[in-house]
Structure formats: structure tokens, C-alpha cells
Amino acid sequence: MLPKWFTKWNESNPTNIYGPAILVGGVGGAVVVAALLVSWGQPFATDSLQTGPRGTGMSVPEFTADLATPDPDIEAILEDEPFIPTGDEPLARDIYENVQVLGDLTEDNFNRVMLAMTQWVSPDEGCAYCHGDVALEEYGADDLYTKVVSRRMIQMTQNINENWDGHVNANKEVGVTCYTCHRGENVPSDIWFRLGPVNENAAGWSAVQNRVTVQSQYTSLPSDALESFLLNYEQIAVHNLESRVAEDVTDPATQTWQDTERTYSLMNYFSNSLGVNCVFCHNSRAFYDVGQATPQWSTSSLGIAMVQEMNNDYLVPLKDEYPEHRLGPVFGDAPKAACATCHKGYQQPLQGTNVIADWPELATTGAPTYEAATQ
């Protein structure tokens, strides 16, 4: 107990003790937390992903917990080993009518791939999504747009696996299947359409900027970056590295400030699509210098060229096959792909899971090599 004189003195000299107590408690708590972090380690540990040459400090810190969290879509990846042909089986094109792709497969493997496609694209509708609710003998008809589109998508998938190995399999065999984009949905998420100006009277920068759109990632940056770069093959670059340069902005070959901002818009889209920041591909001291970029810069460059080909050679030409409700809301254009369509927020689609291992039929436009698929 305290002495009587102290109690009497304290009653005669009242003081607000709550403020100092809170201060002392806060400082003491911070000291305890700091001591625990030093002695036990940071509970949210990070891992460092090296993105450039050693000694340059080019790395990206990532939370270990995030790296250990799998993409939930990985659980639904369909695994089904192919039937190894003996060489004397009849082929699908000799058994079924109007088999324009995958006709060189055996009947077992052809049906196996068809059933997989229903799981990847139309798990609820099944075979009827492309063939209609008809008898098996009528499956050869091209009455539904979904079948015509699916046939072309098979060819696009084979082309990606066969001719864009430098992007798709940059680190290891990964490949792509219908599931890479569709994830069990009729229409993949993160497709895009042309947006156009705000209204018919808008022109110039005001027509495509300061708009809340998915394409601009909800920023004031231009909303036509995907259209400019991933469809129209325009140059991805800043307008100039020097200030106050005399240039004719009416010359189509002259890069303008808005072209620079379109580049920023595309780079912002890249970052969000892959869940990374700028230094994943660039050296922050010299963004423009390819010689100081990371290996991922080359992989991304191939990806840009791949998407340009996908849009112009495969997706856009299908416009006349689609019904009106599948077309864009402004221009009635065909749906198009971009980075997020496959990556969906991860550095590699499905976190680099090898999805092509059991599906050699989609890995080449020629006859599949089954032996390699089973090694």
C-alpha cells in the first residue's frame, strides 16, 4: 500500500494519467513487437525472384505465402492419358462426317479430346453446346456457330503450342489447352472489345482518356491501348527521350504524348494481368534500354506478337459467325484476347502447370507424338 502522505498529496494534486499511460503502453508494445520480429523472424516472410543479371540488384520480392497459394483453377485441370495407337486403327475422319480438324486421330483419342473440350468449355451443356440436341448421326452438321468457332479455336491452340514455344514454354513445357482461357466457361473471362469515343462529338484526347474502363484499368490513361497495340500493330514506345523537340504532330509517324500514355496504359494492363510490377521486365534506371531489360522482357515481347496474331488471324475473322449477343456493345466487333485472358493475375497461366502433357493432339497441327507425351 502507498503511504498516507502520498495519497493525501495525490488527492490535492490530481493529474490525467491516461495520456502518459497510453504513450508508455504504445511504446512498450512497439518494443515488444520489434523484439519478437528480431528474435523469431518476420511472420510474413518474403522470397526474392531474380529478374536480371547477378549483381545488378534486379529482383522482385514476393510474399512466400502468396507464392505457396495455388490458383484454385488448378484443381479442375483434366488429366487423361491418351490411348497409344497401334497403327492399324481407323481414323476419325474415316469414321465420322465433316471432321476438318483432328481427323488424323484414332476414334478413341478423338472422342477423348471431344469429351475434354466439353469439360473445358461447356460442362453444363455438354456435347449439345456445339452439336445441338440431335442424334449422333447428325453431329457432322455445322448448324451452330459454336461448332464453327470451336473448330477454329482448336487450330489456334495448335498454332500457339507449335509456333509460339518461346513464349508459352519459356521456362519449361507448359502448353495451352482450351482450359487455359475458358476455365469451364463458354466465354473466357477478360476478353475485350473496342470502346470508341465517349460520344459522336468527342475527338482527340478527350475521346479516349479520363474514362473509367477495364481497358485503362480504371485510370485516366487512354482506353484504346489494347486496340492500338494488340490489334492494330502500332508502335509501343514513348514519344521522345528529349524535351522540347520540334516534331510535326500531324505526321502519323511521329510519336505523341498520347502515344506515350497509351504505352503506360498497356504496361499498367500487363502488370495487373500478371500480378507483377514494372521491374519484372524492365530495369528501373533505364526503362527504354533493351540491353538492360530482364529475360522476361523478351518473353513478353513474344507474347505481344502472339496475341496480335491470335486477334488478327483467328478471333477477328470470326465476327460473322457470332450471334449479336456475342459481339461488342459499341462496334459489334468480335471478342478479342489479351494477356489477362490466359494469365488471370499470375506470372504464368495456372502457375506454370503443364496442361499439355496429356493432350499431344493440341500440341501440333500435324500428327501427335504420343510417345513423347507419356515420358
pLDDT digits (tens, 9 = 90+) for 275-313: 888 888 998 888 888 888 888 999 999 999 999 999 999
Per-residue pLDDT reduced to its tens digit, 75-99? 999 999 999 998 889 999 999 999 9
Alpha carbon 184 to chain centroid, angstroms: 16
pLDDT at position 1:
59
Domain membership flag for residue 301: yes
Separation CA 82–CA 78 (nearest Å): 12
pLDDT at position 287:
86
Q: What percent of the chain has pLDDT over 90?
A: 55
CATH number for the domain that contains residue 205: 1.10.468.10
pLDDT at position 51:
74
pLDDT at position 242:
80
Alpha carbon 28 to chain centroid, angstroms: 46
110 class by beta-carbon count within 10 Å (0-12 exposed, 13-18 middle, 19+ buried): buried
Residue pair 57/332 in contact by the 8 Å Cβ criterion: no
Closest CA to 180 of 169, 195, 196: 169
Q: Which domain holds residue 216?
A: 190-240+249-343
Residue pair 290/281 in contact by the 8 Å Cβ criterion: no
Residue 181 has pLDDT above 70, yes or no: yes
Separation CA 275–CA 351 (nearest Å): 11
Domain membership flag for residue 233: yes
- Do both 144 and 258 map to the same domain? no
- Do both 325 and 235 map to the same domain? yes
- Do both 339 and 352 map to the same domain? no
Q: What percent of the chain has pLDDT over 70?
A: 86
Residue 375 has pLDDT above 50, yes or no: no
Other Cβ atoms closer than 10 A to 283: 22
| Average pLDDT, integer, range 133-160 | 95
Q: pTM, whole model, 2 decimals?
A: 0.82
pLDDT at position 14:
66
Per-residue pLDDT reduced to its tens digit, 218-260? 888 889 999 999 999 999 988 777 877 888 878 877 888 888 8
Closest CA to 326 of 335, 318, 317, 316: 335
Domain membership flag for residue 371: yes
Residue 164 grid cell: 509460339
| Average pLDDT, integer, range 348-361 | 95
